[in-house]
Chains A and B, each alone.
Chain A
């Protein structure tokens, strides 16, 4: 039963192949990757989870996209203009666009997609940005125009995130239940070839692709929920591509030279950062001196070294370092316990009773650090706890399951301090996180940050579509945010990827958009391709 007479797996005798030779780009081959979750469907606005958008973004186009430096550029749109009053955006589509089923792709499809995402009956959480459009029209087949009631600068970013759907296939369908979600027709490099529930999705090249042809013939995404099992599959040369955790990257790979022979490692700054957020409605966190003191008391490099095994960077603003929006003049608070103590003393905290814990008005300075079940955040909490203890603050850690964390503590604002993460967003607009109007239960300014100056800048930033003027606004915003210290920026981890050396054409080091920015240029030299079982 387990004899190996007729091996049907894809094993190559990997040890004998020398992957160091260079070959010019060629077409063909299959890239196999692994993902932990299965998409629920491939209409991203409905599905919502990352597995769905990862696959769907190979199948569908948006009007705009981010280039390798994370600047906006056209995807389906060849160009776009913003009117003088900044309220109207006109997109001009590229000529001769086609769907994978050979039907023409026109501005009518874009209009249809907008109607669907704003439709009350559509089960999407992403409709609100598009509901700001007061008028959308398609005056001719290659022009799409939207008008907003007031200038809305994040608009361009939203159009870079909306996958355009084919009207001719969906107009008579209920988008919430349609079989199209599991059998999609798009316009991007690949089309869905085969979806085996719970096992894999196979994409093949779309000959009508709107952005030219990708080099690799097919992408196969295997669903392997367990990271350790993924790693074994990678070691056995059954997958080419997987995301690693810091331990696999920094501990296992260096210890296993035979893996390094066939597999190349890449690191790039990830898309999120971890922070310590204060409940600004609670004393003493309403005092900026206390917040700054805690900021000085935390050693960020220690967190990066201890939790991320050195695979991360400190950040000083909610923007990705190296991109336009990140203010290069800002530096994180250095680790300075003496300054922290001095600030606390100025705020009235001293150890009057000699028990090692600071107190004020007879009450000891003690609070609870709350986080959800996430190993990295728990470890971060422990390191912070120790550093706070050194300056005389008694912090306890409490770890909760996500839904109760959100429902019982964040929504009713029943917390002192949280360790959580936000994304380093591509568009600089952070209105929903920092504006004082966004504090209702369920909204995202749950720390209750209220700074009229920041409010004003966030409002101005939403109204300004000129990138240079916008940049100044957000550099100023980041500066105030850092000084005011409503949260302590802790760290931004690297995205760590392992890719088999048979895959070529990968930019290393990665540009700000990450190594995945040019997957269509990746190729697999014929001599390195797997021996595949013949299809059809």
Chain B
């Protein structure tokens, strides 16, 4: 097992290099760079000055040389500084000679996105599990049809539209929830419990929207897993020996039906750091989605590469964790019966 882990771990290094190389070249395939965004199409900004900027950012060098420069910095875990945002560090805070700290862009955006995504994942699991189980137990009955219809509506409905409607209803028509942003003005002067209430009020709609649109996948997965398990011989055996139906369903069937979900959760770890551009723009949340989107529009290469690299690392770790968790949960995998 240890050797297997070590092997998997070492494999990640060439994979990472490959991923970063491909990302870097694809990024440079897109036309333009930081000096060619729409705002810079300004007769007051001369072509010579723009050329000078390109040189200062090493953008005049061949792509392979630029990749080398980037790798050199990455070797010391230096993600560099943003082109567009006044040289702010991409990943983690730095201190200048006068002791001023500038916070990293990912450092600031990540916790916000992580919080929203973890909360909505919890919401999804809490709602999707029972929905899936009920659907499976009442297969093809009214409850099943109703649930399937409901989760598909949630999946198909445009999130931004629901978001705007709910913002209007809860924020403009009724003063129940704040409309956008992360904190109320004057947040700093609130008591800690008022701060928590304030945060939760602001997070309610974003979490709710991302939860409702994510229900379909998990609940259908649970439903199908349950259906498969419920037809297995050992369930018949459990029923035959007179176990209570609840125990059959939750003790025997559900536990086995949940196994494939481990893989899904492993794969959703990198998703946890990716925010939704649309939701973050509408709710004015300075998270990862908005950060990445703006960086792409501005051709802010260090920020793009920083986010892609961290995403790649987390994807690989997520895969690894999923495999480990699978082995832990399923004795057949652990003993090498199935690989």
Does A353 count as interface, using CB distance less than 8 angstroms?
no
Min CB–CB distance A356 → chain B (angstroms): 37
- A7:B175 contact, CB within 8 angstroms: yes
Does B252 count as interface, using CB distance less than 8 angstroms?
no
Query: Which residues 198-234 of B sit at the A interface, judged by CB distance below 8 A?
Result: 198, 200-201, 204
Residue of A at shortest CB range from B103?
Answer: A197
Does B22 count as interface, using CB distance less than 8 angstroms?
no
Min CB–CB distance A475 → chain B (angstroms): 20
Min CB–CB distance A43 → chain B (angstroms): 8
Min CB–CB distance A6 → chain B (angstroms): 6
Does A78 count as interface, using CB distance less than 8 angstroms?
no
Query: Which residues 14-49 of A sit at the B interface, judged by CB distance below 8 A?
Result: 38, 40-41, 43, 46-49
Does B255 count as interface, using CB distance less than 8 angstroms?
no
Q: List B contacts of A41 (CB < 8 A).
A: 85-86
Q: List B contacts of A126 (CB < 8 A).
A: 44-45, 49
Stretch at the interface among B34-42, B72-80, B148-156, B317-325: B34-42
Does A223 count as interface, using CB distance less than 8 angstroms?
yes
- A404:B32 contact, CB within 8 angstroms: yes
Give the complex CA separation of A516 and B103 in angstroms: 34
Does B181 count as interface, using CB distance less than 8 angstroms?
yes
- B172:A236 contact, CB within 8 angstroms: yes
**Given that A198-B108, A199-B183, A232-B179 are known contacts, is A406 also in contact with B86, CB under 8 Å in the complex?**
no
Q: By CB atoms of chain B within 10 A, which of A225, A228, A238, A407 has the most? A: A225
Does B270 count as interface, using CB distance less than 8 angstroms?
no
Does B58 count as interface, using CB distance less than 8 angstroms?
no
**Given that A232-B172, A233-B179, A236-B171 are known contacts, is A9 also in contact with B49, CB under 8 Å in the complex?**
no
- B181:A224 contact, CB within 8 angstroms: yes
Residue of A at shortest CB range from B177?
Answer: A2
**Given that A6-B194, A9-B184, A533-B189 are known contacts, is A229 also in contact with B179, CB under 8 Å in the complex?**
yes
- A197:B181 contact, CB within 8 angstroms: no
Does A336 count as interface, using CB distance less than 8 angstroms?
no
Give the complex CA separation of A225 and B291 in angstroms: 12
Give the complex CA separation of A425 and B32 in angstroms: 26
Query: Which residues 420-444 of A sit at the B interface, judged by CB distance below 8 A?
Result: 422-423, 425, 430, 432-433, 440, 442-444
Residue A406 contacts which of B41, B108, B189 (CB distance < 8 angstroms)?
Answer: B41
- A433:B175 contact, CB within 8 angstroms: no
**Given that A40-B85, A372-B38, A533-B189 are known contacts, is A199 also in contact with B286, CB under 8 Å in the complex?**
yes
Q: List A contacts of B245 (CB < 8 A).
A: none
Give the complex CA separation of A179 and B49 in angstroms: 24
Stretch at the interface among B8-16, B137-145, B277-285: B277-285
- A40:B84 contact, CB within 8 angstroms: yes
Residue A4 contacts which of B84, B175, B284 (CB distance < 8 angstroms)?
Answer: B175
- B43:A535 contact, CB within 8 angstroms: no
- B284:A225 contact, CB within 8 angstroms: yes
Does A402 count as interface, using CB distance less than 8 angstroms?
yes
Does A79 count as interface, using CB distance less than 8 angstroms?
no
Min CB–CB distance A480 → chain B (angstroms): 19
Give the complex CA separation of A47 and B40 in angstroms: 11
Q: List B contacts of A423 (CB < 8 A).
A: 42
- A236:B86 contact, CB within 8 angstroms: no
Residue B175 contacts which of A11, A176, A222 (CB distance < 8 angstroms)?
Answer: A11
- A177:B81 contact, CB within 8 angstroms: yes
Min CB–CB distance B225 → chain A (angstroms): 31
Residue A48 contacts which of B40, B175, B181, B189 (CB distance < 8 angstroms)?
Answer: B40
Give the complex CA separation of A440 and B50 in angstroms: 14
Stretch at the interface among A57-65, A117-125, A203-211: A117-125
Q: List B contacts of A161 (CB < 8 A).
A: 44
- A179:B100 contact, CB within 8 angstroms: yes
- A40:B86 contact, CB within 8 angstroms: yes
Residue of B at shortest CB range from A411?
Answer: B36
Q: List B contacts of A414 (CB < 8 A).
A: none
**Given that A199-B183, A236-B179, A532-B186 are known contacts, is A402 also in contact with B53, CB under 8 Å in the complex?**
no
Does B30 count as interface, using CB distance less than 8 angstroms?
yes
Does B56 count as interface, using CB distance less than 8 angstroms?
yes
- B167:A176 contact, CB within 8 angstroms: no
Q: List A contacts of B201 (CB < 8 A).
A: 1-2
Residue of A at shortest CB range from B174?
Answer: A4
- B281:A403 contact, CB within 8 angstroms: no
- B197:A6 contact, CB within 8 angstroms: yes
0 or 1 for each of A318-353: is its CB under 8 Å from B? (1 = yes): 000000000000000000000000000000000000
Residue of B at shortest CB range from A128?
Answer: B46
Min CB–CB distance B147 → chain A (angstroms): 25
Give the complex CA separation of A535 and B180 in angstroms: 22
- A125:B35 contact, CB within 8 angstroms: yes
Give the complex CA separation of A151 and B179 in angstroms: 55
Min CB–CB distance B67 → chain A (angstroms): 20
- B282:A125 contact, CB within 8 angstroms: no
Residue A125 contacts which of B50, B100, B198, B286 (CB distance < 8 angstroms)?
Answer: B50
Residue B167 contacts which of A7, A222, A232 (CB distance < 8 angstroms)?
Answer: A232
Give the complex CA separation of A532 and B182 in angstroms: 18
Does A8 count as interface, using CB distance less than 8 angstroms?
yes
- A222:B190 contact, CB within 8 angstroms: no
Query: Which residues 375-429 of A sit at the B interface, judged by CB distance below 8 A?
Result: 402-404, 406-408, 422-423, 425
**Given that A229-B283, A403-B30, A533-B186 are known contacts, is A2 also in contact with B86, CB under 8 Å in the complex?**
no
Does B60 count as interface, using CB distance less than 8 angstroms?
no
Q: Which residues of B contact A (CB under 8 A)?
A: 30-32, 35-53, 56, 81-82, 84-88, 96, 98, 100, 102-103, 108-109, 164, 167-168, 171-172, 175-186, 189-190, 194, 197-198, 200-201, 204, 280-286, 290, 299
**17 residue pairs from A and B, CB less than 8 Å apart:** A4-B175, A6-B197, A10-B185, A41-B85, A43-B86, A48-B40, A49-B39, A121-B56, A197-B103, A198-B285, A222-B181, A224-B181, A229-B164, A406-B41, A407-B32, A432-B46, A535-B186
- With A196-B183, A404-B32, A536-B189 given, name 5 new contacts (CB 8 A): A1-B204, A38-B286, A161-B44, A402-B37, A440-B47
Q: Which residues of A contact B (CB under 8 A)?
A: 1-2, 4, 6-11, 38, 40-41, 43, 46-50, 120-121, 123-129, 161, 176-179, 181-183, 196-200, 220, 222-226, 228-229, 232-233, 235-236, 238, 372, 402-404, 406-408, 422-423, 425, 430, 432-433, 440, 442-444, 532-536
